[in-house]
Amino acid sequence: MDKTADRINLLAELLRDLETTAISWQVGLIALCLALAWGAGRILRPRLERTLAAARTEGGQEALYVGAAGLLRVLVPLVAWLLLVVTRAALQAHQPVNLFNVAIPLSSSLVIIRVVVYTLRHALPPSGWLRQSERAITWAMWIGVALHLTGLLPGIREFLDGLAFNAGKHRVSLLNLIEGSASVAITVLGALWIGRVAESRLMGLQQLDTSLRVVFAKLVRTVLLVFAVLIALPLVGIDVTVLSVFGGALGVGLGFGLQKIAANYVSGFAILLDRSIKLGDLVTVDGRYGTVARLTARYVVVREFDGTEAIIPNESVITSTVLNHSYSDRSIRVDLTVQVAYGTNLRQALDTLLEVARGHPRVQAEPPPAALVRNFGENGVDLDLLVWIADPEAGRGNLRSELNLGIDEAFRARGFEIPFPQRDLHIVTGSRDKPR
């Protein structure tokens, strides 16, 4: 009550100052202080920006960069606050300074709000929308503080509360909607930020399996969102028991239109828990061959070797056959077929294939490579080279190309011929009986 009375007295004194020349002096001096603060900001800003650029390019200058960026944001209001304080101290001995008593708290509150918002942006996990809307959040908070300091906020609240309508037995006003929306937004955003912090900590626990880390992170974020809703609804004035009706409607919806979505989410948690597919695994799913780049509650992202990414619903992964090339062992076999001409010493050709395979750095010694005679074809003898590699994510096509080049060079050096399709034509000459 005392603070409210002080604000009312301050407004009354301001109204009395309007009838004298004191208000003109105060308006002029405040405008001069703001202009000087703006000019000082124009002069000092290039130096701070150069400090920012130097801190960004040099390593280990994170604290200097954060400090210079924070000072850059509060430079103008901070200088304005200092000038207003000094001017009020020099002027209050000669005339009333009621307008200064309003301007100084407004400028100091702007400095504090900008520092708080900037600190939260660096303390919380990185968020693009927070960085982009930092200025809007600052000014919205400052307007609320300004209305509170000037004593205008109670009148505005009464006006907004008067714009109301009845929804059944409840009275809903514009003030309730604004306060409820703000409460829900703040609660949900806080839950999301805490969830991101917990997720980053969980993903950093190397002693846990990757799939378990993803499961725990998803569960933490889901539980936090549920708690945020349970906390926010009473703040808005909604009875939590209405969730039973919503839960029944949601169950009916899942039974009909949302069953596919529900199946994908349930399948996603099943995949994460049984660890049949993990991040980095080399898999073939739905005709897609690549590495598992991402596991979510709804889909699996398989990155193929040509750079494309296939988004496969979890239900398809559960209900179809998945070839996991690295489930228990990352070693896979790569087969090559080579043809040599008839008349070639096959034992020497097989030894040459094994020599080329053993000389390649990606071919494993265990299991050892093998060379076999497959069959006798139309144009030559087909030979198979079987090698094992432990890094399938590095690609198999490039390995085949390098082995084929080595085989071609070795065969040329030993005089082995790789045949090409050919046909023998036999021309029969002689007389034919002509028809009579």
For residues 248-275, give the mean pLDDT.
Answer: 68
Rounded Cα distance, 295 and 268, in Å: 8
Q: Which residue has the higher pLDDT, 233 or 168?
A: 233
- pLDDT of 318 > 60? The answer is yes
| pLDDT band, very low/low/confident/very high, at 266 (cuts 50, 70, 90) | confident
Closest residue by Cα to residue 122 from 54, 73, 75: 73
Half-sphere exposure of 435 (CA within 13 A, CB side): 0
For residues 391-403, give the mean pLDDT.
Answer: 83
**Region of poorest pLDDT, from 69-83, 140-154, 252-266, 285-299:** 252-266
HEC secondary structure over the chain: CHHHHHHHHHHHHHHHHCCCCHHHHHHHHHHHHHHHHHHHHHHHHHHHHHHHHHHHHCCCCHHHHHHHHHHHHHHHHHHHHHHHHHHHHHHCCCCCCHHHHHHHHHHHHHHHHHHHHHHHHHHCCCCHHHHHCHHHHHHHHHHHHHHHHCCCHHHHHHHHHHCEEEECCEEEEHHHHHHHHHHHHHHHHHHHHHHHHHHHHHHCCCCCCHHHHHHHHHHHHHHHHHHHHHHHHHHHCCCCCHHHHHHHHHHHHHHCCCHHHHHHHHHHHHHHHHCCCCCCCEEEECCEEEEEEEECCCEEEEEECCCCEEEEEHHHHHHCCCEECCCCCCCEEEEEEEEECCCCCHHHHHHHHHHHHHCCCCECCCCCCEEEEEEECCCCEEEEEEEEECCHHHCCHHHHHHHHHHHHHHHHHHCCCCCCCCCCCCCCCCCCCCCC
Per the CB < 8 A criterion, the answer to whether 335 and 386 are in contact is yes
Half-sphere exposure of 331 (CA within 13 A, CB side): 11
Residue linked to tokens 């997720």: 199
- pLDDT of 349 > 50? The answer is yes
pLDDT > 90 fraction of the chain, expressed in percent and rounded:
0
| pLDDT band, very low/low/confident/very high, at 1 (cuts 50, 70, 90) | very low
State which of 12-21, 145-154, 297-306, 375-384 shows the largest mean pLDDT.
375-384
Cα distances from 144 to residues 110, 161, 164, 226, 265, in angstroms, run 11, 17, 22, 29, 42
pLDDT of 91 reads 81
Rounded Cα distance, 397 and 16, in Å: 88
Cα distances from 222 to residues 40, 65, 196, 198, 229, in angstroms, run 49, 35, 11, 12, 11
For residues 142-161, give the mean pLDDT.
Answer: 72
Q: If you average pLDDT over every residue of the chain, what do you get? A: 75
> What phi and psi, each to the nearest 5 degrees, are found at residue 258?
-105, 15
What residues have CB less than 8 Å from 84, skipping those under 6 apart? 30, 33, 100, 103, 104, 107
pLDDT digits (tens, 9 = 90+) for 198-244: 777 777 777 666 666 777 777 787 788 778 777 776 766 666 665 56
Per the CB < 8 A criterion, the answer to whether 88 and 104 are in contact is yes
Q: Which residue has the higher pLDDT, 255 or 371?
A: 371
What residues form DSSP beta bridges with 387? 334
pLDDT digits (tens, 9 = 90+) for 84-108: 888 888 887 777 777 777 778 878 8
pLDDT of 202 reads 74
> What phi and psi, each to the nearest 5 degrees, are found at residue 19?
-85, -5
| pLDDT band, very low/low/confident/very high, at 58 (cuts 50, 70, 90) | low
Closest residue by Cα to residue 334 from 387, 287, 267, 270: 387
pLDDT of 68 reads 64
